[in-house]
Structure 1
Amino acid sequence: MDPPPYESVLQDHGTNNFFAPATVSKEFEIEVTDPVKQGDGVAAYVSYKVRTKTTHPSYAAPFNEVIRRFRDFAWLHDKLVEKNKGLIVPPLPEKSAVQKYQMSTDFIDQRRRALQVFVNRVASHPVLKDSRELNTFLQANEEAWMLEIAKWQAETSAQHRPVNAAAQWLKSLQHSAQSLVSGRAEEIQEDPEYIKIRDYVNSLEAHLNEAHRQAGRLLRKEADLGSALSEFATAAEALGKQDEVGPMRSAFGCLFIRAGEVATLSKARSEALVNEFAAPLKEAARTIKSVQAAMGDRAAALTAYSQAKSDLDSKKVRLAKLRGTPGLKEDKIAETERDVNEADQRLRNAKLGYETIRDTMREELNRFQKERASEMSALLRDFALAQAAYTAAQAKAWGELLADLQNVPQQAAAAEAS
């Protein structure tokens, strides 16, 4: 079955969606709606209603409604990333301190749409849709939810992050130094086919970002064109009013009407481009970051596997030396043997961890590539259809202006005859 296209997961009632909401998920229909600004200044935030209809057997009721804010969506995202190594967790919209402070209507609506896309992506994922985290996010009452958030904030306190990151960095540095001293390079290599996909994904990110940037230019130019046409129509009307009667007044009046129609079309097209073209491209670029995060999990698992193998090898070498040393106490050898056994178990665990992520990513990358191909094809198809319809409407308005102008002399003659 084809993956859900971007517009289908929006499910905005009363808007021109290109795909039926039923294609999103057989088990979930989720709306993020009714944004309400809470507070003022830097402490301000927006709350949303998250409405869920579901047939999933783990949910207590077929319909549920909760109040959530951006921080809560971040909880869902971070928890899923933490507990699903190797899975491509759908991305959140970026944070923007400047836009958050301004809290414009456009910013709030675009974020609402992006959050709706995010949570529907999660609900459509073959693994994440069954997660306890999604279940909690969609139906936990206020008291239970606040306990979850408090626990999460305590776990991710800023004072612990640098320590953990520094410890991991020092461990990697120590392993690299040991490899250099021993003259051994990494003995565990990645699959060449996977490396090709990894390089492709990294290259794809730059191209998607550039496509999004150019889409932004396109919609800005369309908005500028609409403004220019509107101003031109006003100027034409003012020019026509210089003649109290006569064909010039009528001709410029027709130009004012038709140019105004085209200006309205241009403004509407510019607004549509934001949601129907630029936003999906931006989400696709964010998704690449999620793919890279999963690839980072795989790289970390491979490093751990390699470190565990190097550690076991060094302990085996040490044990062999001890066994070859005359007069050495048996308890020293026994202690080193225990170290070797523990290192061997760590290697087995590290190997299992790496292979689990590797196998998980094989399925995930296949799914990602199919989704990307399907969604990009649908996006370009609908962009072409919308552009064709827009151009046809423009041509019709200018064609009607030609007909209007051709009728002006006849109308003037009839007026003079009467």
Structure 2
Amino acid sequence: MESPPGAVIEVSTECKGVARRDESRDFDDPFSTCSASFEGSVAASPSIESFSTLQDQDDVADLQYDGRELQIRVDNPQKLLSTLETYITFRVTTKTSRSDFEETEYVVRRRFNDFLWLREKLVQNHPNNLIPPLPEKHTLMGQLDRYSKEFILHRMAMLHKFMNRLADHPFLSFDANFKGFITAKPSDFTVLRKSKQGLISRWTDSIQNISGIYLAKGRPHDFDLMLNYSQSLTDKLTSIEKISHRINKEQQEHLGELQQLHPVFNLWSSVEPELGNLLATIGQAFESISTEEQTLVNEFPHITSQPLKEFLLYIDAVKESLERRDASQIEYELVLEELGKKRAEKEQLQSELGQNQETNSQSYAFWKSPENKEERLQKLSASIGDLIKLAEEKQDQTECANETLRSDFERWHLEKRRDLKQLFLSMADAQIKFHEKSLAAWEQVLQDVNKEGRQQTN
């Protein structure tokens, strides 16, 4: 999925009476005192100036159908100022041909915390599915960069991928919270966010940490393979990321030295009249090469670093889904373990009741009387019946979780192959273009040298 083309940042300081054309249907963020941005509310700032180099936004909302029933675009980040906080919202444009939507087009504006809420609800309501990742939250060390062009554009691109992965999912795209996220007006979305989670969600929360205490005993072999593969892939991509960073650092150092050669050769050409043209040509070659290497260094985060980090986050989401699957199986195994204890207790009690009644003396306590044991036996029988039903339910849930996750893993494998292929091809293309242009610069030097040699010969 390609990143949304173009973005604009605006700073909204107060609400005014005229709505923007493409946001008139979405007076947005319900948690701000000013819930939409308007014409005339844009303040001059370095953030806005840095975004002015991007494509014009007049046609951004013109999202053309590409054959999918549901397509989403996340773009147009805006910085909003309220009395309590400053934050960024993103425009979420949806076009659909599905009959379960009342309209064919929706435009809403959501902030990053809204995306976090959506993913948490999907994890709660669909613990058996592989839920795509969101970009990482900014750290305290990166607080000053949270409104930078690079940070916001990277976050916007990942949010765009997140929403389209959900839109392409055959099951998650029908979730009520997801549909409310992309369609609800501000007041309705506020109600949706404040709605209390149900019993199933609370139950899901209560078992999320089970896998951290117990280990699943009967995990299917293919899930063991998936876990090992995920860890291996993490190690390999982490190594690639470290090596790429080291190469980029060396390129930066090389660029610094290369940039010093151009003025040196220019100065040299001024004091060597006979070699002046040749030295000036070599200086131009160094200048051209340094320009291309500067481009390569600047593009490194977008070509290599950010895609690798995004893919590592996706692998973490895979591991999280495996943990949730293990939690479901562990709960089933705990029920079986409890059932085994109850059955053993019942057999022991039946054995005691079958013993010779003469061994019971008057000194026995009431709780050891045969009558009380009969009551305990009846309770155990009822408890065992309930546990058998519960075990059958947990077994069905575990099998359902297995099949659901296998389907999502198969979908992830296809997406992984495509994304990794695109990532490595982009890395290769960037290096090839740099070396091709460097070679062209030196070939031009060679042509000038040969030309000057022929002239001197003649």
Pick the TM interval, shorter chain: 0.7 to 0.9
2:405 alignment counterpart: 361
Displacement of 1:31: 2.4
Query: 2:93 touches 2:106 (CA, 8 Å); kept in 1?
Result: yes
1:3 alignment counterpart: none
Q: Classify 1:61/1:412 alpha carbon distance in 2 versus 1 (closer, same or farther; 3 Å).
A: farther
Q: Does 1:260 align with 2:287?
A: yes
Q: Does 1:277 align with 2:277?
A: no
Query: 2:4 touches 2:75 (CA, 8 Å); kept in 1?
Result: no
Structure 1 unaligned regions, length at least 5:
1-7, 16-20, 177-184
Q: Classify 1:412/1:123 alpha carbon distance in 2 versus 1 (closer, same or farther; 3 Å).
A: farther
Q: After the TM superposition, which residues 265-414 of structure 1 pair with which residues of structure 2 at under 5 Å, given as runs? A: 265-326=292-353, 327-329=370-372, 330-407=374-451
Q: Does 1:9 align with 2:2?
A: yes
Query: 1:247 touches 1:412 (CA, 8 Å); kept in 2?
Result: no
Moved more, 304-313 or 277-286: 277-286
What is the aligned length?
A: 381
Q: Classify 1:141/1:273 alpha carbon distance in 2 versus 1 (closer, same or farther; 3 Å).
A: same
Q: Does 1:200 align with 2:200?
A: no
Give me the whole-angstrom Cα distance separating, in 2, the residues matched to 1:197 and 1:41.
Answer: 48
Displacement of 1:309: 0.2
SS of alignment partner, residue 401 of structure 1: helix
Q: Does 1:73 align with 2:103?
A: no
Q: Classify 1:264/1:134 alpha carbon distance in 2 versus 1 (closer, same or farther; 3 Å).
A: farther
Q: Classify 1:281/1:410 alpha carbon distance in 2 versus 1 (closer, same or farther; 3 Å).
A: same
Give me the whole-angstrom Cα distance separating, in 2, the residues matched to 1:205 and 1:61.
Answer: 42
Query: 1:52 touches 1:65 (CA, 8 Å); kept in 2?
Result: yes
Q: Does 1:56 align with 2:111?
A: no
- The code of the aligned residue for 2:303 comes to E
CA deviation digits over 1:284-317, x for unaligned, max 9? 2111111101100111111101100011111122
Q: How does the TM-score come out when normalised to structure 2?
A: 0.72
Moved more, 390-399 or 377-386: 377-386
Displacement of 1:71: 0.9
Q: Which runs of 4+ in 1 moved over 4 A?
A: 21-25, 39-43, 405-414
Query: 2:223 touches 2:322 (CA, 8 Å); kept in 1?
Result: no
CA deviation digits over 1:114-162, x for unaligned, max 9? 222222222222322232232222222112223333447x99xxxx99x
Percent identity between the two aligned chains:
20
Q: Which has the larger radius of gyration?
A: 2
Give me the whole-angstrom Cα distance separating, in 2, the residues matched to 1:267 and 1:324.
Answer: 85
- The code of the aligned residue for 1:273 comes to F
Q: Classify 1:409/1:284 alpha carbon distance in 2 versus 1 (closer, same or farther; 3 Å).
A: same
Q: Choose the corresponding residue for 2:142, options 99, 105, 111.
A: 99
CA deviation digits over 1:51-71, x for unaligned, max 9? 223323333333222211211
Moved more, 330-339 or 347-356: 330-339
Give me the whole-angstrom Cα distance separating, in 2, the residues matched to 1:127 and 1:235.
Answer: 64
Query: 1:87 touches 1:360 (CA, 8 Å); kept in 2?
Result: yes
Query: 1:9 touches 1:24 (CA, 8 Å); kept in 2?
Result: no
Query: 2:4 touches 2:74 (CA, 8 Å); kept in 1?
Result: no
- The two structures, once aligned, show a CA RMSD in angstroms of 3.6
Q: Classify 1:108/1:234 alpha carbon distance in 2 versus 1 (closer, same or farther; 3 Å).
A: farther
Give me the whole-angstrom Cα distance separating, in 2, the residues matched to 1:361 and 1:198.
Answer: 12
Displacement of 1:164: 5.1
Name the one with the larger helix percent. Answer: 1
Displacement of 1:24: 8.0
CA deviation digits over 1:230-274, x for unaligned, max 9? 34324433444x44x935554444334332222222222233332
SS of alignment partner, residue 29 of structure 1: strand
SS of alignment partner, residue 190 of structure 1: coil
- The code of the aligned residue for 1:280 comes to P
Query: 1:247 touches 1:409 (CA, 8 Å); kept in 2?
Result: no
Give me the whole-angstrom Cα distance separating, in 1, the residues matched to 2:167 and 2:314.
Answer: 16
Query: 1:50 touches 1:138 (CA, 8 Å); kept in 2?
Result: yes
